[in-house]
Structure 1
Amino acid sequence: MSEDRAAGRFVLVPTPIGNMGDITLRAIEVLKEASRIACEDTRHSAPLLSRLGITGKPLVSLHDHNEVRRLPELLDAARAGETIAVVTDAGMPAVSDPGYRVVQACIEQGIPFEVLPGPSAVLTALVGSGFPVHAFRFLGFLPIKKGRRLSVMEESLEIEGTSIFFESPHRMLGTLELLAEKHPAARCCVARELTKKFETYHRGTAAELAAYFKQHAPKGEIVFLITGDEAKKRREEED
C-alpha cells in the first residue's frame, strides 16, 4: 500500500483468469477499501465482487471504447483523494486490456498508482507449456491478415526462446494450418481454458496440432505458444 493512505491513487488489480480462488488477499483488501472500482465490463466484474462480499461499491465502466473520455473524471477523483481500483475481465489490467492509458496518465500527471501482482494467462501458459522460459516474449493477439500472421510466426521460429500469443478459438485451426503448410515440424502449444475445469495443454508440431484440432474444434480462451527451434539449431551448429 502507499505510505500516504490519505492521498488518492489508482491501483491496478489483477483478477482470476478462470478459477475464482486465485484472487489474492491483497487484491481483496484493495477492492474492499477502494472508493470506486473501474471495470472493463461491470456486468462481468459484478459476480466476482459479489462472491467476495463487496456490494454497494460504485462501479464505473472503463474499456477500450470509453477510456479516453472517462479517464479525466477518474483522474480528478484521484486528485480529490479517492482510491480507484482498476480491474479487467480477467488477469492483469493493461496487458491486452484497458489500463495502459491509466498508467501513462498517472506518470505524466504525477498521480500515485500501484500495480498488484496476480494471475496471468501469459506466465501460466509459458510454464505449463514446458517450452523454454529463460527467454520469452508476449506479442498479444496474432494479426488478422494471413500474410502478416505467418510472418510473425516465422519470425518466432527464428528467435531463441518462446513466443506467446493470444488467439481466437475461431481462428486457431486456420493459424495452425497456415504454420503447418510452411513449417510442419514447428513446435507449438495450445493452452486452453487455463485454471478452469476443462484446462488442457496440447503440445506437438504444427502439423500434429492442426490435424488434432481439425477433428476437435477448439473452444474457450486460448494462449498459443511457439518455440524457436530454428534459432536453437542454428546456435548448436555454430557451436
Structure 2
Amino acid sequence: MSEASAQVSMSDAERKVRVDLAAAYRLVALFGWDDLVFTHISARVPGPEHHFLINPYGLLFEEITASSLVKVDLDGQKVGDSPYPVNPAGFTIHSAVHEVREDAGCVMHLHTPDGTAVATLEQGLLPLNQTAQLAMADLAYHDYEGVALDHDERPRLQRDLGSKGTMLLRNHGTLTVGPTVAQAFTRMYFLERACTMQVRTLAMQAAAGGGLYPTAEPVIEKNMQIGRMGLGQVADALVWPALIRKLDRVGPGYKD
C-alpha cells in the first residue's frame, strides 16, 4: 500500500475490508452510479473501537484505493493520520445506521437518476417485475428532511429503516445495508436495477399508451418471500468474486 506508513498497526482484517470497500467504490464508478465526489460508501473496521472507513473527500470514486480510505469515528471525525479530508456531513446518514445496526458492516448511499426518480414518485417502487418484487421484500422509506447535516434526523432515519436492508430516501436517493461490502453492493444492484426497469417501463407506457401487464398477487407474494430470505451467501460466494475478477481485469489499482 502506498500509504502504509500511515497505517502501521493495520490488521489483516482491516486490510481486507479496505480492499473490498475500495473495490465497491470503483465498481460504483464502473456501473455509472457515481455522482462526482459526492455520496458515500462506509464500512466498519473489525474490532471493538466502532471505527469506520469512508472515501477521502474530493477524490472521484474511480480514483479511490484501499490505502486512501479514511478511518473515522461514529461522529465522522478522522482517526489517526491521513493526508485526506473527510466530509463529516456526508457521514450523517451512515452513522445513523452504524449506530444502531450491529449487522451494518457496510452502508451504501447513492444519488442515481433512476433511483432518485423512483424515490420521488409518490407510489415509490412498484411490483412491476421479478427484480422489483425481490427488492420490495426488504424495502423501507424515509421522508426527505433536507441536506443531511442535522444529527437530529438520525433517530427518524433509524426508525424508518428498522431491520430492513434497502431504503428509498424520498426525493434524495437509494441506500443499502449489509453485513459485508459484497452483500450491501448486491442489494444495491437489485434495487437500482428495479428502479431503472420501472423508469423505462413507465416511460414506454406513457409513449405507447395502454396498461401494464399485471403479475398475479400470489406470485408477487411468492417472490417477496424469496426476497426476504436474502442473497447473503450468493453475494459473498458468487457475485462478489465475479465482480472482483472483472475489476481486476479492467483496473486492479484499487488494491494499492
Give the TM-score, by structure 1 length: 0.28
Give the TM-score taking structure 2 as reference length.
0.26
Decide which structure has greater helix share.
2
Q: Larger C-alpha radius of gyration, 1 or 2?
A: 1
- Structure with the bigger percentage of strand: 1
